[in-house]
């Protein structure tokens, strides 16, 4: 399979993912200018637990579904869809029940405040998102980009309109944020039901098929939990060691760094179906080429965030800044969070061995290692460096996890990286950070380093105009 095909798949399906996730970034000015850091801290904790609990409710079924669905024939796909959806629905109902029965206690555990309605909304959002996430994976596998993009746009549009209406027009509190999310999730759930109905047959339910899917899925449950622990432990430990205001400020800067994660996850949505295809050959020189090209692009994005994130955040439009002034203190963490997700991109590039050799347990172990390291470093660094300590811990943990997956991938499928190219990329990133710190974010120094980076990347043909035109075309 060609680099051009990967570029096309990553752009189309990654765009849909980025559009969906970008809504939280676009709403930052609204949140940080209308709510206090303490109030935004509750929002941060809400969206800390949503992805964590989503992993529990899905228990790896997304990864297992995609692995089985991509190479399957039409009849077998109906059986896979039926068994996965039925399994998630049956297990999701008790989850909803428990959330409702213990909403008062869970409110204190999650947010440190008594507002059980937030817990109820969280449970319903997770349930709806879990069900409709499977048809969205099927749209990728069936190569139906128009429907995928349309639903993604609709999700964003509803969320934006509801947030703007509830907060600006009706002057509602932070609960309106969760109500907006609930409305968007339930709408997509209803619209995706006909798609599920066309591919759901009770006669296709099979204990054998379900066990086969579940055997691949379950190892991804701990893997997913450990991965989310890496992403959310910093904010929860910050709450334990500091206060909600610190969490709110930290989370604002974290959201800017997460722009790198949007690109990484967007790429991965094209990457997984690409390497799961029958014609993918890890021995081909195309694989190490892909790694070098993707890392060079991620490096460029990291430089954009390093040099220009503060200008974006502090820019004033009609007297309103992107962040409320109280949140400017979060800016120093941005490059460290972005670098964390650059490492996460390298991690995803090293996952073909785990999937192709059917060894999901290795993903669980690498993420367990990263999660334990992150938690330990957070407890060590936060008392010393405050919120910056949480960012340092996250970055070191993701880097360590990426390196461990590289070692495992090399053991499983023996990949030869373009070490010279990767060394050049990381050397340029280090030099850029030194320049940024030494010249105190000088405009001309930043421009100079951006030009140097692009020039060297093309001079050494890490990215050539020929390969770039293939991807674009």
> Structure pTM?
0.79
Q: Stretch 185-214: mean pLDDT, rounded?
A: 95
How far is the CA of 82 from the CAs of 172, 222, 245, in angstroms? Answer: 41, 24, 45
pLDDT of residue 219: 83
pLDDT of residue 468: 62
Q: Stretch 20-39: mean pLDDT, rounded?
A: 84
Average pLDDT over the chain, rounded to whole?
90
Q: For residue 457, give both structure tokens.
A: 């990347």
Reduce the DSSP state of residue 320 to 3 states and report it.
Answer: strand
The closest of 287, 335, 339, 300 to 456, measured between CA atoms, is 300
- pLDDT for 364-384, tens place per residue? 899 899 999 999 999 999 999
**Residue 65 vs residue 71, higher pLDDT:** 65
Q: Are 315 and 322 in contact (CB under 8 A)?
A: yes
How many CB atoms within 10 Å of residue 98? 12
Alpha helices in 315-418 (DSSP H): 334-349, 352-356, 360-385, 387-413
- Burial (0-12, 13-18, 19+ Cβ within 10 Å), 143: exposed
**Residue 277 vs residue 443, higher pLDDT:** 443
How far is the CA of 140 from the CAs of 111, 210, 252, 274, 291, in angstroms? Answer: 36, 22, 31, 11, 22
Quote the CA–CA distance of 421 and 418 in Å, as a whole number: 6
| CA trace torsion 287, 292, 294, 295 (10° rounding) | 140
């Amino acid at each position: 399979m060609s680099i051009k095909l990967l570029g096309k798949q990553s752009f189309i399906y990654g765009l849909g993912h980025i559009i969906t996730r970008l809504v939280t970034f676009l709403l930052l000015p609204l949140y940080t200018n209308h709510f206090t850091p303490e109030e935004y801290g509750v929002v941060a904790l809400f969206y800390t637990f949503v992805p964590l609990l989503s992993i529990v409710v899905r228990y790896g079924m997304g990864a297992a579904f995609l692995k089985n669905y991509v190479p399957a024939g039409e009849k077998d796909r109906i059986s896979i869809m039926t068994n996965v959806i039925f399994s998630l629905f049956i297990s999701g109902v008790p989850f909803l029940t428990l959330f409702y029965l213990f909403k008062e206690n869970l409110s204190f555990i999650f947010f440190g405040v008594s507002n059980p309605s937030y817990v109820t909304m969280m449970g319903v959002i997770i349930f709806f998102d879990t069900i409709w996430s499977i048809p969205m994976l099927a749209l990728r596998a069936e190569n139906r980009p128009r429907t995928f993009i349309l639903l993604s746009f609709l999700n964003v549009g509803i969320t934006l309109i509801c947030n703007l209406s509830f907060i600006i027009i009706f002057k509602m509190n932070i609960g309106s944020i969760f109500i907006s999310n609930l409305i968007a999730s339930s709408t997509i759930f209803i619209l995706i039901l006909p798609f599920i109905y066309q591919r759901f047959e009770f006669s296709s339910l099979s204990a054998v098929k379900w066990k086969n899917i579940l055997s691949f899925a379950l190892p991804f449950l701990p893997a997913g939990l450990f991965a989310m622990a890496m992403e959310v432990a910093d904010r929860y430990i910050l709450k334990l060691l500091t206060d909600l205001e610190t969490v709110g400020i930290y989370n604002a800067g974290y959201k800017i760094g997460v722009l790198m994660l949007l690109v990484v996850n967007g790429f991965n949505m094209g990457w997984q179906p690409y390497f799961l295809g029958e014609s993918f050959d890890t021995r081909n020189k195309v694989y190490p080429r892909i790694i070098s090209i993707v890392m060079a692009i991620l490096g460029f994005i990291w430089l954009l965030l390093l040099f220009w994130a503060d200008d974006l955040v502090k820019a004033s439009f009609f007297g309103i800044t992107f962040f409320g002034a109280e949140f400017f203190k979060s800016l120093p963490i941005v490059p460290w969070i972005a670098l964390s997700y650059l490492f996460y991109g390298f991690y995803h590039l090293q996952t073909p061995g785990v999937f192709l050799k059917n060894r999901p347990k290795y993903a669980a172990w690498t993420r367990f290692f990263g999660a334990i390291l992150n938690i330990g470093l957070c407890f060590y660094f936060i008392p010393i460096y405050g919120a910056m300590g949480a960012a340092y811990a996250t970055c070191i943990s993701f880097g360590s996890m990426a390196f461990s997956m590289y070692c495992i991938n090399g053991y499983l499928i023996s990949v030869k990286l373009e070490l010279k190219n990767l060394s050049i990329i990381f050397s340029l990133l280090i030099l850029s950070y030194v320049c940024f710190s030494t010249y105190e974010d000088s405009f001309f120094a930043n421009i100079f380093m951006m030009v140097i980076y692009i020039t060297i990347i093309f001079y050494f043909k890490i990215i050539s105009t020929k390969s770039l035109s293939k991807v674009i075309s």
